[in-house]
Copies of this chain bind each other. A is one copy, B any other.
Amino acid sequence: MSRNIYVEDVTEVPTPLRDVEIVERKGIGHPDSVADGLSETVSRTLCKLYRKEVGEILHHNTDETQVVAGRAAPDFGGGAIIDPAYILLVGRATTNVIVNKVLRELPCKPVALKAAREYLKNLAPNLDIDSDVVIDAKFGMGSDDLTGVYKASGVLANDTSFGVGYAPYSITDKLVLQTEEFINSNTFKHLFPETGQDVKVMGSRVGKNLEMTVACAMIGRYIPDKSHYESVIRDVCDKVKENALDIIDKSEEDINFKLRINTGDDYSNDVYYLTVTGLSQEMGDDGSVGRGNRCNGLITPYRPMSMEAASGKNPVTHVGKLYNIMSKLIAEDVARKVSPDVEVRVRILSLIGKPVSNPLNCNVQLVSGYRSSEFNKWKSEAEAIAEEWLGNIDKVTDLVINGKVRTF
């Protein structure tokens, strides 16, 4: 197989069928997700700038945004930001480029800063972007080695790196992912303006018993007093549970569901999860790129995971980013072809300096817990799917730039 695609039949028990499964999602307002979102936004913005001004995407990696928590004095009925959070956009970007023999300088930092401010404003309407946060940027040029690889072809791997993905989502995965999306949906925010964007969902399944723990930053200005806090938490709990039971019903799974919200609260000692802006970056919680969700939106310690910080990476040559996204896309396509109880795991490994489309190996595992008689059929289908994706890396790049695939 020219692209080194290996499909394996794995007899171990698929994760969703095992006794224990733990899944976490850091919501879009969690400091690590804020860092991810800003990094990815900046990369997309640079891609568009490069395409517009130069006609192609130039070397960059803006995957090192650092969120430094501020200081806040949250209070029922209001509260105030005392010390703004500090956000440093960090990465590499090509600022100087020769176009038609003329050196041009590109406004990388200005467009990045503007896009970052815009992103934060949309993300957290209760954050005053002009007073509650300071955003700075440090972009340098990359080293000759890496940029050399880039210029040489545009499709050579920039690193020895790997990507990992799986499909389909288990019921635990679905509940965790969709619960966060539900709480951060416009509909929900309309119902419960008291809830902030910093939502963390953890699902722990032991057998059929699934416990979900939600930590949701609450916004002081919409909560006049303790009794309002307590009652809104009860209402939020009811609504989230209703939504979760719906998901379980539709999945036709046999699950005992239990929900806890803001378990850190201690009403008798006046401990509430109260914020001014709905983001815990206002106080106490710093954030970094790549510390939170993987490219499927989840943290899944009972599945293979990549360490890669995909958000903000260059979507043309950064194999860490491309292979993680593509692994998931391949796994999803394969999962649609095989039995629904098969766990499809994909791992792709690159070698620095080799074409991105020719990985060192692309390993597809079909984990079913048994020897399937259909394996040979599945194998050739999986090979075709992997072959197709590897031959169309550009498609992944475009999906990324247009925001059609998530990176966190």
9-residue interface stretch from A248-256, A287-295, A381-389:
A287-295
- Complex interface residues of chain A between 125 and 171 (CB less than 8 A to chain B): 128, 130-132, 134-138, 140-149, 160, 162, 164
The closest CB in chain B to the CB of A303 belongs to: B304
- Complex interface residues of chain A between 175 and 221 (CB less than 8 A to chain B): 200, 202, 204, 206, 213, 215
9-residue interface stretch from A66-74, A239-247, A336-344, A396-404:
A66-74
- Complex interface residues of chain A between 342 and 364 (CB less than 8 A to chain B): 347, 349, 351-353, 360-361, 363
A–B complex contacts, Cβ < 8 Å, 23 sampled: A6-B20, A64-B288, A66-B90, A68-B90, A69-B140, A71-B105, A81-B107, A82-B105, A107-B131, A110-B128, A110-B131, A113-B134, A114-B130, A118-B130, A134-B136, A140-B284, A143-B283, A146-B284, A160-B200, A162-B301, A206-B361, A292-B307, A301-B304
The closest CB in chain B to the CB of A108 belongs to: B82
The interface residues of chain A, by DSSP majority, are classed as mixed
A84 in the interface (beta carbon within 8 A): yes
- Complex interface residues of chain A between 58 and 95 (CB less than 8 A to chain B): 61, 63-64, 66, 68-71, 73, 80-84, 86, 88, 90-92, 95
Additional 18 contacts, C-beta under 8 A, given A22-B347, A164-B301: A6-B20, A10-B12, A64-B66, A64-B288, A69-B140, A82-B107, A82-B110, A83-B140, A110-B131, A113-B131, A134-B134, A143-B283, A147-B284, A160-B263, A213-B351, A290-B291, A299-B307, A301-B304
Interface residues in chain A, defined as those with a beta carbon under 8 Å from any beta carbon in chain B:
6, 8, 10-13, 19-20, 22, 24, 61, 63-64, 66, 68-71, 73, 80-84, 86, 88, 90-92, 95, 104-111, 113-114, 117-118, 128, 130-132, 134-138, 140-149, 160, 162, 164, 200, 202, 204, 206, 213, 215, 263-264, 266, 269, 271, 273, 280, 283-292, 299, 301-302, 304-307, 309, 347, 349, 351-353, 360-361, 363
Q: How far is the CB of A361 from chain B (nearest CB, A)?
A: 7
A307 and B304 contact, CB distance less than 8 A: no
Q: How far is the CB of A311 from chain B (nearest CB, A)?
A: 12
Q: Which residues of B contact A304 (CB under 8 A)?
A: 301-302, 304
With A66-B64, A88-B88, A105-B82 already in contact, the answer to whether A136 and B138 are too (CB < 8 A) is: no
